[in-house]
Amino acid sequence: MTDLYQRFVLVQGCFAKVPVLEGERNWPEWEDGIYGALRHFQGLPLLHTAPPPPIAVTSTEQVPTPAPSDLSEDHKSLDPMVAAAILQCLSRALNKSYAPIVDDTSSYKTYRIYSALRGVYGTPGLQYLHSQIRDFLSFAPSESDDLLVYMETLRQKHARLSQLGMDWDKMLDFKLLDLGLLGSPGWERATRVARQ
């Protein structure tokens, strides 16, 4: 087997478990899958390394020197394979829309396709925010739940809302008050865990 074929098999295998991106609704899970796949072969620079700016020639006498690329030769050789693998992780409709980026002959395809998708789906819309808030507010422990496990899960949901730019410190207090946990045994320890 050639080295190129082995690399292709590696990339395809790493992306096999990435969920199909349907849109904003499953962006966080999809993005986590993409990051996980790229970590297997140290491919994260492909997502975060922008193409160098175009070289401006100010005089006909000067010969422009190309800006050094931050991508290694190894990453450059993986770029078309990774971009194609990302394309395979998109719904049929999205695949059609973003295929021209992968089909383009220029480099930095992975960065360009990921940046384009992140610009559209990575920014949460009102529908997504509403679903996260509703999930946070409706999350209640069952009788068999351990209080610390419940508080850790609640803290994770709270952290997700904070990442979305929401200030929900008081919401946590109201949630605990609503559940009657503010005066219960272990409340102080559990709220310390939730606020960390």
Range with top average pLDDT, 9-18, 48-57, 131-140, 147-156: 9-18
Shared domain check, 133 and 106 = no
105 and 166 together in one domain: no
Q: Are residues 114 and 134 in the same domain?
A: no
Q: What is the pLDDT of residues 68-94, one digit of tens each?
A: 457 888 888 899 999 999 999 999 999
Query: pLDDT tens-digit profile of 136-195?
Result: 888 888 888 888 888 888 887 877 777 777 766 656 665 666 666 555 555 555 556 555
What's the pLDDT score for residue 63? 46
Which own/partner contact pairs does 161-166 have at CB distance under 8 Å and 24+ positions apart? Answer: 161/132, 161/133, 161/136, 164/124, 164/129, 164/132, 166/129, 166/133
Residue of 122, 130, 139, 152 lying closest to 178 (CA atoms): 139
Cα-based angle 15, 19, 21 (whole degrees, multiple of 5):
110
Phi, psi of 157 (to 5 degrees): -65, -40
Residue 51 pLDDT level (bands cut at 50, 70, 90): confident
Q: How many domains does the chain have?
A: 2
Identify the band that residue 52 occupies on the pLDDT scale cut at 50, 70 and 90.
confident
Note the helical H segments in 16-146: 27-39, 45-48, 73-88, 92-103, 109-121, 126-138
Determine what percent of the chain is predicted with pLDDT higher than 90.
23
Q: How far apart are CA 67 and CA 1, in angstroms?
A: 35
How far is the CA of 71 from the CAs of 3, 34, 38, 40, 61, in angstroms? 19, 18, 14, 17, 29
> Does 187 reside within a domain?
yes
139 and 98: one domain?
no
Residues 117 and 130 in one domain: no
Top pLDDT among 179 and 63 is at: 179
**CA–CA separation, 108 and 75 (whole Å):** 10
Instruction: Let me know whether 42 and 138 are in one domain.
Output: no
Can you give the pLDDT at residue 44? 87
Q: Which domain holds residue 186?
A: 126-195
Domain-located, residue 64: no
Tell me: do 22 and 117 sit in the same domain. yes
User: Which pLDDT score, from 0 to 100, does residue 178 have?
Assistant: 60
Whole-model pTM over 0.85: no
* CA 58 to chain centroid: 40
* Per-residue pLDDT at 125: 64
Are 21 and 44 members of one domain? yes
